[in-house]
Each structure stands twice: as C-alpha cells, then as structure tokens.
C-alpha cells in the first residue's frame, strides 16, 4: 500500500517533469498540501486553496481511493463549462468552489459544517488544457476534532425506594468519547463498575444508560457522567430517593362530633403521609366512597347520617390505618305534636323559668337547606307568616303553599342559655287560603259574564 508521504513525492516528481518545460501549458501549484494533516473542529468550515500557473481546464475534488493516486468519489468540480456539486449524501450543500480562471490564477474549495465523516483523506485533481500534459494531484488529510458535550437526562430525578431508577447520558464529540459513570460522595468520586450488583450500565454509540436497580436512600445523591476523547467533559444529575411514610395524627381532627339535622360536619381521617395516603370511607348506612384528600364533608340531613364513619387510609408500602369518627345527635327536648300555623295564628311555646329572651330557629324539614333566626324578647309566642319564610321560594315554583318545618326554641338568661332548646319537629306553615280562594271566585264570575254576552 502506498503511504501518504510517497504520494507527496509522486506529486513532486510530476512537477519536476513540468519545470523541465516538456509541455508548455502544464499546470503548476505554487504550494501544495502534499498529504499533510490539517486539524479541523467539528461544525466549523475549512478552505482548501492554491495559486497556480499554467493552462488549467478543471479541478476535481473528491475522496481518495485507498490504493492509488486517484479520485474515488467526486464531491465538487470546477470546470471551464461551470461548477458542479456532486450528489453525495453526506456532502449535499456543504461543498463550495471558486476559480478566477486566470493564469496565473487562484482556486479555492470550502467544506462547511465539518462532520465526523470528514475525518479522512481528500484528493484534488488539476487537469490541464493540454491533453498531453499530466494531471497534478494534491492530497490533504483532515483530522476532525470535537470536544465532548455531555448531557444527563433527566438532570434530577426523584423516586421511591425499592424501585429502579435510571439516567441517560447523551454525548457528542469526535472521536467518539468513552463514557464513565461515577457516584459522588462528598468530595470523593467513585467509579461505578458496569457489572456491579446495584447498578446496570447500558452503553450505546453516543449514549449510556445508568440503571439503579433497586433504589435505596443510600443511592441518593449526585451521579456524574464523564466523557473523554482528547479532552473530557462531565455532567451531574441528582437522584433523590424517598420512602413512603404514613402515620396517625390525632391532633388533626376530632373523632367525635355533636350535630343536629341541617348542620354540616367537616371530618377528617387522622392520618398524614408522603405520598398522601389514599383514603376511603364507610358511611353509617354502609356506603363506601373514596375521597381525594383526608377530609370528608358531611351534611347531616337524615337520621341515618348520624353514627359511625370509618375511614381507611392506605399508604404505598401496604400500611393501613382505620379510624372511627362518630356524629352524635345533639340532645334536645323534642315535641312532635302536629302544629299547623296559618297567617294570624301565633306559634306559642311554654314559658321557661328565668328566661329574659327567646330565640327561635327555623329549619326547613325536608331539605334542611336554610334556616332563619327570630329574636322574640320575653314573649312566649310569635306569628310566623308563610310570606316571611326565606326558604319558601324553592317550593313556590311548584305552587306548594305549605312548608314543613322544625322550630327550635332557645331560652336565654341574662348571661347564658337556659337548659336544652325545645325542638318542635312537626310544624306546618300554610299560606292564607283566602287570597287564592277570592281570586278563583273572581275568575269564575268573569267566565260566566263572558259567556252570557
């Protein structure tokens, strides 16, 4: 095989023949690369240029045949007829050439956006106008260099203990850098061996994946990817290994509530944890439901809403917690005698010894949506006209002219509530019948008069 330096001699010997003046138009290069090396940076561009004498017909730029001094693949041609770039996949759009077509003259080729494939030998064939003259060759070897550029994906990772975690290190550079993984412990960096029990390393061209097979809290910390060719570059990524926790915290919320119908209770499962535990509830009537947080909002509507609520919290590491939370019904004296109130009829209650003031609370029986308060001073009766009820509007739409309500009577002394309030649970408040009856009679009359005409 012919060495590069031999080729150089070959070029020289051709030139010598010409200077002997054997052929008049023989092309001569004033200086040549002569097979020497040129170092170029990945991504940069490189100019090949010559000054020449003689009658130049064309210059062909190509890759060199391994064995002989000849073009193997043509990349670009400068000719009397014009310039042409060849259709070679890795070189499309990267080759340029210029020639001032004088004698003596200048020729220049440019290779842009240097890639790894350009790390090879290029040959330039100078053809003379005179077919009797020999071709002149020049040869250059490009030595491509690209420092490593390293990136770890993801740059930070948080994982649960006991599961695998992985980082991928992407590396660019030429020559292709070698990749090493290291674990940082304080100021000490320890190389991770590819066949260790705790780690697995999958290497590919230009990337390497580090798998922490079973993350433990000791695996937390910085991992370093080091890539080296003629220089080195490193990148760091952080692995945070957390373990799930779940614990009871009875300070969070009470386990017992007292409420009456119509009230709301905000109960919670007495548990905290990371990640937040999954909480499910069993209601007093046996219904199961899940909540997104540890909180359950209960509106006490019916008798069956009192009782025991059981919450179950599930952590990630299969730990469970159950807790009972109870809603007790607020004790009060109830009076379930049927009471019907129409306009003009007072609602009356029993006098309480020592009371200086009474407070009346009205609760709509069926929906328990709203309630209203009436202050009554020392009198033991009050009129509650249907038209004054704040929650009648909902039922008015359905033309209902009566409401079932619960009335609570609370007696106040000078400084405090006296005894338990009395609940009247069976009260019906009706709209005055006369107004609607009157209008019905008027309507009937006008109907008769209309028909008589």
Ligand X SMILES: *[C@@H]1O[C@H](CO)[C@@H](O)[C@H](O)[C@H]1NC(C)=O
Chain contacts with ligand X (rule: CB under 6 A): 30-31, 36-37, 49-51, 65-66, 72-73, 87, 106, 141, 143, 162, 164, 166, 185-186, 211, 214, 216, 218, 283, 285, 287, 305, 308, 310, 322-324, 335, 337, 339, 348-349
Chain position whose Cβ is nearest to ligand X: 66
Minimum distance from CB of 200 to ligand X (Å)? Answer: 8
* Buried b or exposed e, range 242-252, using 16+ CB within 10 angstroms: eebebeeeeee
124 forms beta bridges with 61, 138
Strands (E), 384-435: 402-412, 417-430
Nearer to ligand X, 200 or 401 (CB): 200
How big is the CA angle at 292 (ends 291 and 294), to the nearest 5 degrees?
70
Phi and psi dihedrals of 148, rounded to 5? -65, 145
Phi and psi dihedrals of 229, rounded to 5? -125, -105
Minimum distance from CB of 300 to ligand X (Å)? Answer: 9
Minimum distance from CB of 168 to ligand X (Å)? Answer: 8
Residue 122: name the closest of 91, 164, 153 by CA: 91
Nearer to ligand X, 396 or 430 (CB): 430
Minimum distance from CB of 436 to ligand X (Å)? Answer: 27
Nearer to ligand X, 20 or 290 (CB): 290
Nearer to ligand X, 341 or 431 (CB): 341
Distance CA 240, CA 220 (A): 5
C-beta separation of 412 from 354 below 8 A? no
Minimum distance from CB of 92 to ligand X (Å)? Answer: 8
Minimum distance from CB of 449 to ligand X (Å)? Answer: 47
Nearer to ligand X, 165 or 235 (CB): 165
Nearer to ligand X, 73 or 438 (CB): 73
Distance CA 266, CA 292 (A): 14
Minimum distance from CB of 274 to ligand X (Å)? Answer: 19
Determine if residue 286 is left, alpha or beta; phi over 0 gives left, psi from -120 to 50 gives alpha, anything else beta: left
Nearer to ligand X, 71 or 227 (CB): 71
List, in order, residues 6 or more apart from 296 with CB less than 8 Å away. 266, 267, 268, 269, 281, 309, 311
Minimum distance from CB of 453 to ligand X (Å)? Answer: 53
Distance CA 332, CA 326 (A): 18
189 forms beta bridges with 184
Nearer to ligand X, 96 or 339 (CB): 339
């Amino acid at each position: 095989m012919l060495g590069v330096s031999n080729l150089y001699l070959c070029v020289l010997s051709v030139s010598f023949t010409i200077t002997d003046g054997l052929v008049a138009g023989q092309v001569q290069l004033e200086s040549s690369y002569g097979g020497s090396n040129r170092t170029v940076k990945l991504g940069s561009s490189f100019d090949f240029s010559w000054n020449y004498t003689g009658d130049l017909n064309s210059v062909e730029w190509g890759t060199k045949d391994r064995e002989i001094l000849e073009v193997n693949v043509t990349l670009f041609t400068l000719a009397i007829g014009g310039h042409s770039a060849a259709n070679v996949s890795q070189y499309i759009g990267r080759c340029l050439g210029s020639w001032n077509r004088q004698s003596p003259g200048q020729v220049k080729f440019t290779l842009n956006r240097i890639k790894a494939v350009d790390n090879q030998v290029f040959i330039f064939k100078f053809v003379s106008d005179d077919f009797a003259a020999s071709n002149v060759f020049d040869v250059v070897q490009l030595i491509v260099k690209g420092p490593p550029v390293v990136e770890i994906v993801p740059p930070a990772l948080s994982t649960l203990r006991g599961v695998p975690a992985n980082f991928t290190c992407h590396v660019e550079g030429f020559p292709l850098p070698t990749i090493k993984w290291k674990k940082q412990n304080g100021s000490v960096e320890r190389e991770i061996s590819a066949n260790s029990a705790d780690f697995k390393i999958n290497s590919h061209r230009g990337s390497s994946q580090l798998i922490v097979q079973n993350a433990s809290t000791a695996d937390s910390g910085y991992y370093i990817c080091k890539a080296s060719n003629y220089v080195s570059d490193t990148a760091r990524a952080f692995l945070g290994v957390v373990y799930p926790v779940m614990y009871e915290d009875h300070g969070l919320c009470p386990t017992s509530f007292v409420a009456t119908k119509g009230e709301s209770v905000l109960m919670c499962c007495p548990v905290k944890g990371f990640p937040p535990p999954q909480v499910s509830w069993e209601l007093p009537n046996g219904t199961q439901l899940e909540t997104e947080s540890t909180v359950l909002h209960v509106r006490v509507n019916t008798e069956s809403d009192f009782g025991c609520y059981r919450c179950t919290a599930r952590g990630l590491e299969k730990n469970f917690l159950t807790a009972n939370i109870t809603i007790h019904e607020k004790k009060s004296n109830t009076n379930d005698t049927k009471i019907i109130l129409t306009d003009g009829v007072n609602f009356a209650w029993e006098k309480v010894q020592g009371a200086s003031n009474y407070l009346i609370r009205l609760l709509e029986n069926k929906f328990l949506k709203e309630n209203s308060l009436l202050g009554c001073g020392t009198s033991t009766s009050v009129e509650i006209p249907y038209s004054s009820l704040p929650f009648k509007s909902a039922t008015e739409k359905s033309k209902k002219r009566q409401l079932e309500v619960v009335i609570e009577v609370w007696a106040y002394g000078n400084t405090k509530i006296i005894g338990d309030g009395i609940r009247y649970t069976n009260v019906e408040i009706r709209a005055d019948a006369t107004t609607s009856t009157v209008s019905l009679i008027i309507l009937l009359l006008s109907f008769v008069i209309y028909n008589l005409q």
